[in-house]
Structure 1
Amino acid sequence: MIEIDGAKGGGQMLRTALTLSTVTGKNFRMTNIRGSRKDAGLKDQHLQAVKMAKKLCDAKTEDVEFNSEEIVFKPGNLRNEALNADIGTAGSVNLVLETVLPVTTQLDEDFSAEISGGTDVRWSPSSLHFRQVKTELLEQHGFKGSYEVEKTGFYPKGGGTARLETVSYSMERLDLVDRGELEEVELTVKASNSLEDEEVAEETLEALRSELEVDVPVKESFEYVDSVSEGSVSLLKASYENSVAGFDAVDERGQRAEQNAFRTVTQFEQFRGSEACVDSFVADQLIVFLALVGGEVSIRELTDHVETNLSVVEKFGKKVGYERKEGEVILRR
């Protein structure tokens, strides 16, 4: 039984452990789940991640309940099963999908998962980032599939639905070290239909445009969508010769577009000033792929998220090392 102490980490430690347990068939017990968070323990989105992983390997579990700070996961044989789940809150559907997406590297049949909840909520990857950045990076290395938002879900009610589908594919080793030159920037905004009269999407685009200073082509697009709760989300996507990076912001009512635009562009500029190949948001999410298929990934810095995630993969016998260099850290397996 692999023992994991989650006291210093968040939900990413649990998601990584679930993925690797499902794939390797190794049992684990995690204590102090999300111990670094004020609201420690399993929340709705974490419960759904456990349940999805359980279905994919017919696992036996213990202590899987709301607010539980300890679980035991004993996987059976890996199997392919269409998954459906409803978080029931605005919990992030994309964080739940982070658990099952890496498992598809081991499947030899088509796969699908549909999850309802929050598609664009704070403290998690937005649907724009998931579709335009993460899946694009994976496609560069053999991933074949699609991610679609059937309905957008903002905080506090959620009510959105996202669908992930994959076809049988062979994942290549990750080669994300030299990003090359910046070729294009794309600005995308999505907002609730109820905000169209206020021109929130157009205002957000204008704020981003006014903060941005680049000498490459800049594309812009926006759309208004149906949603239960009001909100908007924006993404600055930077396309390089050999990689893509993204910087998003979920705007809640009462926030100024200028403030979010400034933060988004500041994150982009910090990234440009480094030698990193991927943004910090996707950096820790790629560690589990490194554990499964190997390769190299250049990130800007060794964050707490990255370090705790590295400790989890090592528990499963899939050590990912790192090398500090000027302006970057190279993760390598």
Structure 2
Amino acid sequence: MTMRPIDFPVELDGSDGEGGGQILRTGLALSMITQRPLSITKIRARRPKPGLMRQHLACVQAARDVCGATVEGDVLGSTSLQFTPGPVKAGRYGFAIASAGSCMLLLQTLLPALLLADDASEIELSGGTHNPMAPPFHFIEQTLAPLVTRLGGRLDLELRRCGFYPAGGGSVLARITPGPLVPFDLMERGAALDRAALCLAPALARNVAQRELETLASLLGWPQEQLQLLPARQNEGPGNALMARLAYEHVTELITVIGEKSVPAESVAHSLVDEVRRYLVHTAPVGEHLADQLALLMALACWKSGRPAAFACTGITPHTRTNCAVIERFLMPLRIEIDPAQVLRITP
């Protein structure tokens, strides 16, 4: 990775925008990449329990280990943090979240920097893999990872064990292969290739998954061959994730609803169908959850290559707008504009 001299700190207000943990995760990632110190206050100020929770502290500690950073404020509940990075080091790492906190968000923190490292890395992650408020494993694997490949890097994932709330205990192996990142425009979905409904329901009665899949098929008119019950591993669960995969020539969208205790299987299916229909109403390729994650990787590709890029979104959330604002703070003079047609345009 090309290093820049340590400059004055980038100061972030954790209460800006949507005021959640993404400000912290993106700040850590870009601090490692640009080698600029990060100073963040009011961490997660807009959340019911502000400050660093276990999963956020795990992200800080993992970033520290990957680049040998000096850190102040890295304790549970802290609302301020000073992070002074050192050079990013590719290698083999293992990180655990001692709860059901999302290990996929921890991966999200490290992925951008390791995609720009000097060699490949392998990370063993444990914690939550399918969380209601975080991108689940299958979304990262089937939606984000193919776009990483198209950018010029590679993200290979292996799900060893599912981890659901509240027990956690999931296990994921991630292999990150860097490469020269080259941006591209993503304005169309392209031809429809495939669609499928997938259900994870380890340690639950088999009829739960069957009812979810049958309800979804009935509402969307999907045939039996497009329904799939994913196998459970020994001593895995309990947990439930119902997913719809919509594969196109240029993008794959994976929409997930996490089942919760006392919520009927039919209600889970109805919730997923509503989200699928909302996506199908649009023609833009990038769903609102993908937009947030793609913005950072595409911006890095633009920043490194000096080339512009654009992608069309089905929606722009406050989460995405906040993330773009953090990106601009670190990668100046790069600019990110969102036009009224919900196209995100990046100019280096």
* 2:236 is equivalent to residue 222 of structure 1: no
Instruction: Describe the SS at the equivalent of 2:245.
Output: strand
Q: Distance in 2 between matches of 1:214 and 1:182?
A: 15
The offset of 1:124, in angstroms, is 0.8
Counterpart in the other structure of 1:316:
330
Check conservation: 1:152, 1:226, Cα contact below 8 A.
no
Distance 1:323 1:129 in 2: 24
Equivalent residue in structure 1 for 2:277, among 260, 269, 287: 269
**1:117 counterpart = 2:119:** no
Paired amino acid for 1:183:
L
From 180, 197, 217, the counterpart of 2:190: 180
- Alpha-carbon deviation of 1:143? 2.8
- In 2, Cα distance between the equivalents of 1:152 and 1:35? 30
Deviates more, 1:65-74 or 1:100-109: 100-109
Q: Distance in 2 between matches of 1:323 and 1:121?
A: 29
Q: Secondary structure of the residue that 1:248 maps to in structure 2?
A: strand
Alignment of 1:307 onto 2:321: yes
SS at match of 1:116: strand
After TM superposition, the structure 1 = structure 2 runs for residues 175-254 of structure 1, keeping only pairs within 5 Å, are 175-192=185-202, 194-195=203-204, 197-213=205-221, 218=226, 220-227=228-235, 229-254=237-262
Q: Which amino acid aligns with 2:61?
A: K
Do 2:161 and 2:236's aligned partners in 1 also have CA atoms closer than 8 Å?
A: no
Q: Structure 1 residues 136 and 256, CA, compared in 2 at 3 Å: closer, same or farther?
A: farther
For structure 1, the 5+ residue unaligned runs are none
Structure 1 segments of 4 or more deviating over 4 A?
none
User: Secondary structure, in 3 states, of the residue corresponding to 1:7?
Assistant: coil
- Which range moves more in the overlay, 222-231 or 178-187? 222-231
Moved more, 156-165 or 73-82: 73-82
Runs (5+) with no aligned partner, structure 2: 1-8, 303-308
Instruction: Provide the rounded CA distance (Å) in 2 between the counterparts of 1:144 and 1:314.
Output: 25
Q: 1:322 corresponds to which letter in structure 2?
A: E
Q: Which residue of 2 aligns with 1:163?
A: 173
| Contact 2:197–2:226 under 8 Å retained in 1 | yes
Offset of residue 57 of structure 1:
1.4
Aligned length: 329
Q: Percent identity?
A: 29
**What is the CA–CA distance in structure 2 between the aligned matches of 1:213 and 1:329, rounded to whole Å?**
31
In structure 1, the residue corresponding to 2:163 is in which secondary structure?
coil
- The AA in structure 2 aligned to 1:281 is H
Measured on the aligned residues, the alpha-carbon RMSD in Å equals 1.9
Greater fraction of residues in strand: 1
Question: Once the two structures are superposed, what CA deviation does each residue of 1:176-223 show, in whole Å capped at 9, x if it has no partner?
Answer: 22112333212111121x22x4332222211221222479x9463422
Give me the TM-score of the superposition, normalised by structure 1: 0.92
> Aligned partners of 2:157, 2:336: CA distance in 1, in Å?
30
CA distance in 1, matches of 2:182, 2:229: 32
The answer to which of 264-273 and 154-163 deviates more is: 264-273
Structure 1 partner of 2:301:
293
